[in-house]
Amino acid sequence: SNLSIKASYARMYQYIHLVSNSGISLPTDVWYPSTELVKPQISDQIAAGYAGFSLLLGKGIFLTNEYFYKWLDNQVDFVDWAELFGNDQLEQEMAIGKGRAYGVELSIEKKEGRLTGWIGYTLSKIERGEFQPVDPDAIFGEGLAYFSPRYDRRHDISVVAVYELTSRLTATASFVFGSGDLYWLPTGRFTFQDTYGGQVQTVVPDYESRNNVRLPAYHRLDLGLVWKFNPRWGESDLTFNVINAYDRRNAFFLYLEPVFSETQDENGTIFQLPERIAAKQVSLFPIIPSFTYNFKF
């Protein structure tokens, strides 16, 4: 038969937690082991789908389709205004909650011919909620409400193609596209007055719902050529790659920077007042060419 149907259930335990803080500039990921207060993560997942060769699309075309739903327990996040650096009691800055993830994974693969490759697409959603701080005096602003964590990637697309130009020369291309990470950005600001009633330059951001802004989508195209040749002493290949071929400046992280405006008082003194808070994007890894030479004796 060309078609197979499958269903599965799995319970998994993980004794290390990835805790991310999306409310500060540079991405901060903390791997934290399970303790007496921070219990191991537990997940229960059900999945169902089918796979098989497609007679309609042509010879050697393989299709897969899978749906999944996952329940998550003992999820960990930081409380509001958590002190992360130089803190030897970090678990007191954490809150414990639940989560759920669900979605569908689709793929089509061509396995025969000079042109081979595959296309994969995942549509999914992750939510977490019902958080209770480890420290009863700490605050977790979302309370019991469910929200999407930082790494909730709604859309994820991958395309890989390999074309055999000759028996020795092969061209490759791979493209990835994914929804941007979520960030916790302020929705307002506080300014303060000095003892004389004038505004000072201190700006304090005002945060509301967590992870309220999604970064621009991440996408990148990589290209390559592989030349294989057989010298007398073994096998060799020379590879030329271009990573990020169209020089996409994907966002690595955001940082906040106050924007000031100059004003003048009645005495002619010029001073600066905070006008707004601007989010600035930092990108890494522009277009990168590379050569690789491999040989086997």
Long-range contacts of 171-176 (CB under 8 A, 24+ apart): 171/223, 171/224, 171/225, 171/226, 172/222, 172/223, 172/224, 172/225, 172/226, 173/221, 173/222, 173/223, 173/224, 174/221, 174/222, 175/219, 175/220, 175/221, 175/222, 176/218, 176/219, 176/220
Q: How many domains does one find in the chain?
A: 2
Terminal Cα-to-Cα distance of the chain (whole angstroms): 43
Together in a domain, 50 and 197: no
Nearest CA-CA partner of 22 in 181, 142, 183:
183
pLDDT surpassing 90 at residue 146 = yes
Shared domain check, 174 and 40? no
Q: Take residue 175 and report the two structure tokens written for it.
A: 């493209």
For 248, the 3-state DSSP assignment is coil
On the question of pLDDT at 201 being above 70, the answer is no
Amino acid 45: pLDDT: 98
The band of 224, judged by pLDDT with boundaries at 50, 70 and 90, is very high
Position 172 pLDDT exceeds 70: yes
What percent of the chain clears pLDDT 90, i.e. is strictly above it? 51
For residue 233, the enclosing domain spans: 160-297
Minimum mean pLDDT among 15-29, 60-74, 236-250: which range?
15-29
Q: Note whether 257 and 148 are same-domain residues.
A: no
- Identify whether residues 115 and 6 lie together within a single domain: yes
Answer yes or no: is pLDDT of 70 > 90.
yes
What is the per-residue pLDDT for 199? 55
Buried b or exposed e, range 281-297, using 16+ CB within 10 angstroms: eeeeeeeeeeeeeeeee
- Name the strand (E) or helix (H) holding 186: none
* Tokens representing residue 254 in the block: 């955001």
Measured distance CA(139)–CA(63) in Å, rounded: 48
More confident call, 150 vs 43: 43
Q: How confident is the model at residue 194 (pLDDT cuts 50, 70, 90)?
A: low
The model's pLDDT over 2-49, given as tens digits with 9 standing for 90+, comes to 789 999 999 999 999 988 877 666 667 888 899 999 999 999 999 999
pLDDT tens-digit readout, 230-239:
777 778 999 9
- Residues 273, 202: Cα–Cα separation, whole Å: 9
Same domain, 7 and 119: yes
Co-location of 216 and 94 in the same domain: no
Tokens for 293?
């030479």
pLDDT exceeds cutoff 90 at 117: yes
Q: Which pLDDT belongs to residue 261?
A: 80
pLDDT over 60 (residue 202): yes
Q: Which among 152, 178, 206 is the end of a domain?
A: 152
Least confident of 108-122, 199-213, 225-239: 199-213
107 and 246 assigned to the same domain: no
- More confident call, 208 vs 7: 7
Helix/strand/coil for 92: helix
Residues 297 and 186 both lie in one domain:
yes
Mean pLDDT of 61-78: 94
Fill in the DSSP letter of residue 251. E
Higher pLDDT, 224 or 60: 224
92 dihedral zone (left: phi>0; alpha: psi -120 to 50; beta): alpha
Q: Are 76 and 70 a contacting pair, CB within 8 Å?
A: no
